[in-house]
Amino acid sequence: MIQAKPFLKWAGGKRQLLNKIESILPCDVLKTKEIDLYIEPFVGGGALLFHLLSNYSVSKSIINDINPDLILSYKVIKLFPHELIKKLKRIEDDYLPLAYEQRKEYFYNNLREAYNKLDVDYKAVDSKTSVEKVALMIALNKTCFNGLYRENSKGEFNVPFGKYANPKILDEDNLLNASKLLQGTEILCGNYSSISIPQDSKVFIYFDPPYRPLTDSGFTKYTKEDFNDEDQKQLAKYIQRIHKEKHHFLLSNSDTEDNFFDNLYKGFDIQRVLAKRYINSNANGRGEINELLIKNY
């Protein structure tokens, strides 16, 4: 079987929770290792997506995220993996031989500024500008501080330089495998509620929305727009509808002290698991915390 893992490090990535999540997949999925239709409305780096595509027989999948640059990267990997690999190889060959100060300069001028200045038409994915934009995005992700994706109020990527001795800017095998696995995936960009869910198939939906912050400094800003308590409540209403339509869903979020999600998802199965948070703007917020896994099956 073809194996791939996330090609970007992404805040809230679920790689460390995969074993736990896998152990509570719907019984029929665990028994047959088959999924008719898998939907991930907040895909981010897609840790569970790639795990399922690599290890299960998934007939069809739909992924979505509100971040247009992230979604562009999935589309480019699906459609133009070889062109992307060529560009990343050139960046890696330029970057790795440089000394510290030169790397820093390259990061700010050749990668970050170039990325922010490059306008793309998100609707017309092509083998030139789109590939260039995604190559810069991946290279920034591998060389910036903490592998974080963050934008300022103008929508510009603003994460500073990271001090990695030997960053793997190009992981050719993983990109080729990810591209093969994504061939049966429909890739959408927008608000989660705009996905239309077919009524006739057996559907499994995994919701991994932005975490509700444990403290005021918690990280929820993946794009210019934030995801606040009102958004969490709207999502809960949407999920109630999914439940009524008899689709299986699993949702993850943070376990905040005020039992916010226990109240919002009363009546569903709620489990607590320990998780390490690696990306948090507040250094004191790192460490082991409870994470919630909520499901209707």
Task: Report the interface residues with ligand SAM, using CB under 6 A.
Answer: 10, 12-14, 41-42, 44-47, 64-67, 191-192, 208-210, 222-223, 227
State the number of CA atoms in the 13 A half-sphere of 43 facing the CB.
32
> Backbone dihedral region of 148: left (phi > 0), alpha (psi from -120 to 50 degrees) or beta?
beta
Decide whether 278 or 297 has the Cβ nearer to ligand SAM. 278
Closer residue to ligand SAM, CB minimum distance, 57 or 193: 193
Instruction: Give dist(CA 43, CA 81) in Å, integer.
Output: 20
Instruction: Kindly state the smallest distance separating residue 209's Cβ from ligand SAM, in Å.
Output: 6
- CB 191 to ligand SAM: min, Å: 5
Task: Report the run of H or E that residue 206 belongs to, with start and end.
Answer: strand 203-207
Q: Which helix (H) or strand (E) holds 243?
A: helix 229-244
Angle between helices 172-181 and 81-95 (to 10 degrees): 160
Residues 232 and 208: beta-carbon distance below 8 Å: no
> Do 155 and 223 contact (CB within 8 A), yes or no?
yes
Tell me whether residue 39 or residue 136 sits nearer to ligand SAM (CB atom): 39
Q: Which one, 191 or 271, has the nearer CB to ligand SAM? A: 191
Q: In the complex, what is the shortest distance from the CB of residue 55 to ligand SAM, in angstroms, rounded to a whole number?
A: 16
The least CB distance from residue 128 to ligand SAM, in Å, is 25
Per-position DSSP letters for 6-55, written without gaps between them: -SS--TT--GGGHHHHHHTS-HHHHHH-EEEEEEETT-TT-HHHHHHHHH
Q: Which is nearer to ligand SAM, 104 or 221 (CB)?
A: 221
**Smallest distance from ligand SAM to CB 52, Å:** 12
